Amino acid sequence: MSVLEELYYGNISDDSQDYKAEGEEEQYDECTKIQCDIEEIFKNRLEDKNKYLFERYIEAKDEILSIENKRHFINGWKLCARFIFDTFSA
């Protein structure tokens, strides 16, 4: 596993600072509540077979988001490294 992947998975961390953007936490909480409420409504309306399919859909979507987040995280750090390299090589 690369250093960036170790950092992404929390094996390397710096918890000394909090990087929350203003208003972002409230927006995140609101969106999470909406998503959970709607998911619960769907689960209550679906029959067992369709409920299973819906849960598999949610799991697959979560996996896709996890992969995408890791890619964005690593690409962001690579871009940062290029900025640093460019700064010191100029």
- 60's CB contacts (< 8 A; 6+ apart) are none
Residue type, 79: L
Q: Is residue 26 part of a domain?
A: yes
**Residue 49 sits in which domain range?**
22-89
Number of domains the chain is built from: 1
pLDDT value, residue 7: 78
Which H/E stretch holds residue 29?
helix 24-45
pLDDT value, residue 4: 78
Torsion of Cα atoms, 61 then 66 then 71 then 77, to 10°: 150
| 2-51 pLDDT tens trace | 877 887 888 876 654 455 667 788 888 999 999 999 999 999 999 999 99
Residue 67 has pLDDT above 90, yes or no: yes
pLDDT value, residue 62: 96
Q: Is residue 15 part of a domain?
A: no
Q: Output the CA–CA distances (angstroms, integers) from residue 69 to 6, 37, 42, 84, in the order listed.
A: 14, 24, 26, 23
Distance CA 3, CA 20 (A): 24
